[in-house]
Amino acid sequence: MWSIIEKIVVFFLGLFFRVFHKELKEETKKGFLQFIKFGLVGVTNTVIGYLLYVGTLFVLKPYDVRWDFVAANTVMFVLSVFWSFMLNSHFVFKKEQGESRNFLKALMKTYLSYGFTGIVLNNILLLVWINVLSISKFIAPLLNLIVSVPVNFFMNKLWAFKTEKTSDDDTNGEKMLLKEKCPVLHFEQLGDERGHLVIVEGKESIPFSINRVFYIYGSDRDVVRGQHANKESEFVLINVAGTSKVRLTDGTEELIVELNEPHMGVYIPKMIWKDMYDFSEDSVLLVLASTHYDPEEYIRDYENYIHTVQG
């Protein structure tokens, strides 16, 4: 469902930018799609919140609780915000490779964000719409959304769900092994008697958005390709035909991965030296990259690389 929505949004966003003769940059597209996702989470939050509110009223009805609507509103706020937090952390503000986020700290910040926009900001705006601008009490809450939703989005994006770089260390402060930095990925293999189908989606099957695709074929078995590290680019390598091997090092460890199935790949983060070799005669090595080509971000001298990573 999201893939369909994404295509529609990107189409109209691109159309809008073309009308004004502007270039739609990847960061702009990514940010706008993130905002749309946040809005969709908000819609589900509204539905869940209302159901919780009504459900709590029904539960309390036999007990003749005087302030049942206050209890219902409290239950609605606590549980619906938690619902939003879980969806936002897994669907909207996902952590990138090498990033960490404190769960409890992010959760508390989320409650504060929603509390500020839902109670403080919305009440101030209602006073302006109704008492100052004489707008109907029934229309004013709808106008609040124009302001409160973007404010809430940026508070969540820049504050509540802010991540920290973990570099080569995991959340326990222990150094990550090279096989953890460069995991082997296995993609779902679909198809039937007509043949097989493998789908790889940026930010879904792999940790980054795909900005460049290239492939290597026709290399002899004794040829070594790659022989460089990248300051900014992340990669996923997949042998869609034949086989090859990838030698990886971070300056401390060495890891060799054999790519011998078209539905497996290896993720290579920034600043990992890579050599591709031992190509079979029918090898086609597909490379997915997170950035557009920039020769300035390549480190092609191994001694220079070792000096850089080891200080």
- The DSSP line for 14-56 is HHHHHHTT----HHHHHHHHHHHHHHHHHHHHHHHHHHHHHHH
What is the tens place of the pLDDT at every residue in 56-85? Answer: 999 999 988 888 888 998 999 999 999 999
Tokens encoding 33: 């799609």
What is the tens place of the pLDDT at every residue in 110-119? Answer: 999 999 998 8
* Structural domains in the chain, sorted by start: 2-165 (no CATH), 178-310 (2.60.120.10)
Strand order in the sheet with 273-277: 254-259, 244-249, 273-277, 225-230, 298-299
Higher pLDDT, 162 or 225: 225
Task: Give 93's Cβ-side CA count (13 Å radius).
Answer: 26
Higher pLDDT, 170 or 197: 197
What is the tens place of the pLDDT at every residue in 241-259? Answer: 999 999 999 999 999 999 9
Active site residues: 228
Average pLDDT, the chain: 90
* Res. 171: pLDDT tops 60: no
